[in-house]
Amino acid sequence: MKKIFTVLIVAVIIVTAVTGCNKKTEPSKPSNSESSKSVTLQLNGSTTVFPIAQKAAEEYMKSHPNVNISVRGTGSGNGIAALINGTCDIADASRPMKESEIQKAKSKGINPVATVVAKDGIAVVVNPDNPISAITHDQLKDIYTGKITNWKTLGGKDMKIVPITRDSSSGTFEIFEEKVLGKGVEMTDKAVVQASNQAVKETVAKTPGAIGYIGLGYVDSSVKPLKYEGVLPSKKTVLDSSYVLSRPLFMYTNGEPTGIAKDFIDFVMSPEGQTIAEQVGYVAVKPTQP
C-alpha cells in the first residue's frame, strides 16, 4: 500500500485575558458573584466551529472582563473526547455525537447536551486555475476512491488529481465519508491528509490539481467552490437545504448549560452572536435582528 502523506498543523489556540472594572453590557448579565471573581471557560473541538467560537469569545470578553475564554481547534472528535474526559466545558462539533461516544460519556457520569449554533455547507473546492466548475456525487466519490485520477476524465486539463482530505478526528471528514463515500468505503491511499479546514484550503490554493472539502466559512478567493449535484454552496442553498452537503454545527455541554457556559452560549444564540456566525461565513439558526 502506498503511503498516505500526512501534514500536521498545530491546533490554533486562543487564550485572551482582559481585566478591568467596566460595566457589563447586554445581551448577557452575569450574576454578582460571577462579576466579582475571575472565571475561565474552556472550549475545544471542531475547526469548522472555531471561527464562530473564537470571534464570539473575543466579543463576549469585551463586556465580561472577569471571564477568560480559551478556544482550541483540534477536531470534533478530540473536542468531544475532552468533554467526556472533563478537560473542557464546551465541545465544538461539526457532527452529532456518535452513540458510542454518548454511551462512553454516560459511563463517566457525563450527560452530553447539544445546542445547534449555526448551519454549514461542506464546500467542494479546487484551485482557481482549474476550469472545472461542477461535479456530481458519483464523480466526487470516484475521485476519492481512486477510480478517477486525471482531470481530463471530467473534461478538464490533462492534469493529475490530488485529493485532499481531513484526519479521522474531523467531523467534516465523517460527514463527507457518510454523504459522499458511504460507510465502509475506503478512501484512496493517494489522498493527502490535513488537520484543519484552513490547512485543506491552503493546500488546494497552492496545488493546481488539488481538490478538497471545507466548511463554508473558510471559502474565499484563494479557492474555487464547485457546484455539487448542480447546486453551488451558499448561505441561501444551505438554508433552504437545496445544497445536499449541508449540516448543523453544535456546542455540547455536560447537561443543560449552567453558569458562565450558559451565559456564553446564550450570547452565541443572541442576535449579536448569530450575526457573528453570519459574518464568519455560516448560516444563522436564529434571527440576527433583536
Give the CATH number, domain containing residue 99: 3.40.190.10
Flag whether 286 is in a domain: no
Looking at residue 183, its pLDDT comes to 83
List the beta bridge partners of residue 166. Answer: 194
124 and 233, same domain (yes or no): yes
For residue 136, is it within any domain?
yes
The residue behind cell 458519483 is 138
Amino acid identity, residue 98? K
According to the model, what pLDDT value does residue 36 have? 59
Please, which residues have CB within 8 angstroms of residue 231's CB and are 6 or more apart in sequence? 237, 242, 243, 244
Its domain, for residue 96, covers 11-119+248-279
- 6 occurs within a structural domain: no
Q: Within a domain: residue 147?
A: yes
Q: What is the pLDDT of residue 15?
A: 36
pLDDT score at 288 = 87
Say whether both 242 and 260 belong to one domain. Answer: no
pLDDT at 32 (0 to 100): 46
Question: Taking Cα atoms as reference points, which of 285, 290, 253 lies closest to residue 269?
Answer: 285
pLDDT at site 26 = 42
Q: Is 135 contained in some domain?
A: yes
Do residues 132 and 220 share a domain?
yes
128 and 76 housed in the same domain: no
In a domain, 285, yes or no: no
My answer on whether 132 and 239 are in the same domain is: yes
Is this structure's pTM higher than 0.75?
Answer: yes
Domain shared by 113 and 252, yes or no: yes
Residue 226 placed within a domain: yes
The rounded Cα 42 to chain-centroid distance in angstroms is: 17
Does 254 lie in the same domain as 222? no
**Is 215 a member of any domain?**
yes
When divided into structural domains, the chain yields a total of 2
Q: What is the pLDDT of residues 18-56, one digit of tens each?
A: 333 233 334 444 444 445 589 999 999 999 999 999 999
Could you list the beta-strand ranges (E) of the chain: 6-7, 12-16, 39-45, 67-73, 90-93, 112-126, 134-135, 162-166, 192-194, 210-215, 224-225, 227-228, 246-254
In the chain, which residues have pLDDT < 70? Answer: 1-36
